[in-house]
A and B are shown apart, each in its own frame.
Chain A
Amino acid sequence: MKIEQYTPAEERLFYILLAFGGLVSVIGLGAAYYMEHFGHVVSGMTNQVFWGLPHVFGIFLIVAASGVLNVASIGSVFGKKVYKPRAPLSGLLAIIMLAAGLFIIMLDLGRADRVLIAATHVNLTSVFGWNMIFYPVFFGVVGLYLWTLMDRRMHGYSKAVGVSAFIWRLAMTTGTGSIFGFVVARQAYQSAILAPMFIIMSFAWGLAVFLLVQRSMYAWNNMELHPSVRQRLKNLLAIFIAAVFYFVVVYHLTNIYYAKETAFEHFILVSGGIFPVLFWGGYIVLGTLLPLFLLYHPAIWPKSGSVCAASILTIIGGFCLLYVFIIGGQAFPLDMFPGMEVSSTFFDGVVGTYTPSLPEILLSLGGLGVGFTLTVVGVRVLHFLPQDDLAKLQDAGHAFD
């Protein structure tokens, strides 16, 4: 730790950021305690919409955690040199984001005090059960990967461990997508395409988060990313955004083609109130078209802030997409009796409504606070600032390969 490198102003800023992140995290913990004590009756969740905002935030972070490791994988698995200096930060963020996502999901459990039971009683037919294996091993493998990067004696193992981490995170995100893909009951889910779709979503969201953190670190150190590196990274982000769009289109087109799914698609895309608004306005316009425009318009992308703005928009679009997918998928009533009008005291046949309550919002933000705090501490203590030795790369004749 070379804390003495920082100026007093930087020291002060560091502690302010730390205090801010810590405060948000503690408020999140308090909100979770409040929900545990009084029960989920204080949440906006119901027996119709029982996975709410915490799941949107938690799943976003878990998916993005896998994707943020992509930067390291491109360097270690596929040998692209420009990504290698970014591998340590990539690995660190992967661990932090997974921890932050699990923080939210675990604290939203009805019996968060029984979280250890989830580790000791694993049902292997459950995708959730698989995740109880995926997550701890992910922490371990990525931790080991960071060790191989940081310790010169271990450098020789970095490729092998990097490949292992790459395979493991693909399996892990397959598992996350399959949480929904294996659900036969609901029209929004039960699709094999969800597994690869979640993987490609992880690529886009993870890279967007990485670019934002990298930019913050560069700004802190008064550094500018080399234009060539910047161009390469922004092109990659654009490709990932477009790939997510492709999967989303295929997913919806497939559903529209099936007569049994058309009512659901009409609900999500046209008549479902907040859901079409978030889908078209949030995901399509803000989260896809606008960032692609920013990243590809020749007059705009070279300008400072364009990649950063595109990254923020990608993240916003991701949240909107997940909200529509998770909440909208539950809000649409189960079709138990096709061709029949259904009514009951349990709101059968009725579109579910959901408004997140303050404790849910605070718990969700608390997870972001945990991620933020750990990132602030991690990047300061570990000195993972990506530094490009461009001259050396170019001299070697394989710049950016």
Chain B
Amino acid sequence: MTERNQTEKNSDKSTAARRNFIGAVAAAGGLAAIAPGIHLVQVSQANTPPRPAGEAASKAVRWGMLIDTTKCSSGCNDCVTACATENGINETVKDARQGSQWIRKIDIKEVKTGRSHSLPMMCQHCANPPCVDVCPTGASMKRADGIVLVDRHICIGCRYCMMACPYKARSFVHQPLTDQNPEVPRGQGCVESCTFCVHRIDKGQQPACVETCTKAGHNAMLFGDLNDPNSEIARRVAQVTTTQVRADLKLDLGVRYQGI
């Protein structure tokens, strides 16, 4: 609860900071209009500050992701491929329904208008994650900086978190695994999901999906600290209309979508 309260406080602080920032942006509107695109790309490619070994994750940070669906094309799977490569999701399964998918592309089409979008879907890193609430052992946990993880050592494989997740973001490992990435331990009989590439973030790098999307020139994914009013993601979230999927559940998601 303390952590949550802290998150809420941070969120309030962040909201106030964003408001101030919007004021500043309005005042310097002309300047912002002159040098737009290049600056945004540069910031989005910038690495996050590394976390020194032995130092706990900070509550002052709330890692988040903004996905611009207007830049995400239906056939593109770059983020999914990058995730699989980075996290060693390389096993072949006879039944695709039993395979792990930490990130997937979803195509959505509005029934009445036919308007369609494509977007990546993964763990939304909720501030109030149902998976953490329901996990009997505490294996599902939220790090201080908002990243929702599974402790592979105490996950008993009950799959209750999968029942609780509104985003179908979690996968159960159905078979023995080989050739794992040492930095990303996975295990048969445990539940897993997107970690925001926590091992990369702690080294000051971007999640693999974001890095790949940016390098490929799509620029549909932006990662950063939602609590830092000077971060690009915080600015963009303050400026454009973003959507939280299943916002009705009030889970306060770390992943926001633009354009849907």
Contacts and interface: CB of A to CB of B under 8 A. Distances in A.
A184 B176 CA distance: 31
A43 B188 CA distance: 14
Interface of B: 93-101, 104-112, 121, 130, 132-139, 154-160, 162-168, 170-176, 187-191, 245-246, 249, 260
Interface string A88-124: 0000000000000000000001111011011001110
Contacts of A117: 137, 154, 156
A123 B96 contact: no
Contacts of A126: 133-136, 160
Interface of A: 36, 38-41, 43, 45-48, 50-51, 109-112, 114-115, 117-118, 121-123, 125-129, 131-132, 179, 182-186, 330, 334, 336-337, 339-348, 352
A51 B161 CA distance: 12
A117 B257 CA distance: 38
Nearest to B133: A125
A40 B189 contact: yes
Contacts of B99: 47
Most buried by B among A51, A185, A352: A185
User: Which 10 interchain pairs have the tightest Cβ spacing?
Assistant: A110-B157, A110-B189, A128-B136, A46-B97, A185-B166, A39-B175, A41-B175, A41-B174, A121-B137, A123-B138
B160 A128 contact: yes
B164 A111 contact: no
Contacts of B160: 126, 128, 179
Contacts of A112: 156-157
A110 B136 contact: no
Nearest to B114: A341
A39 B192 CA distance: 15
Contacts of B170: 47
A185 B171 contact: no
B176 A344 contact: no
A185 B165 contact: yes
Given A36-B189, A330-B163, A342 B107 contact: yes
Contacts of A132: 136
Given A38-B176, A118-B137, A346-B101, 10 more contacts: A41-B175, A47-B168, A48-B97, A114-B157, A117-B137, A121-B137, A128-B160, A129-B136, A183-B134, A340-B109
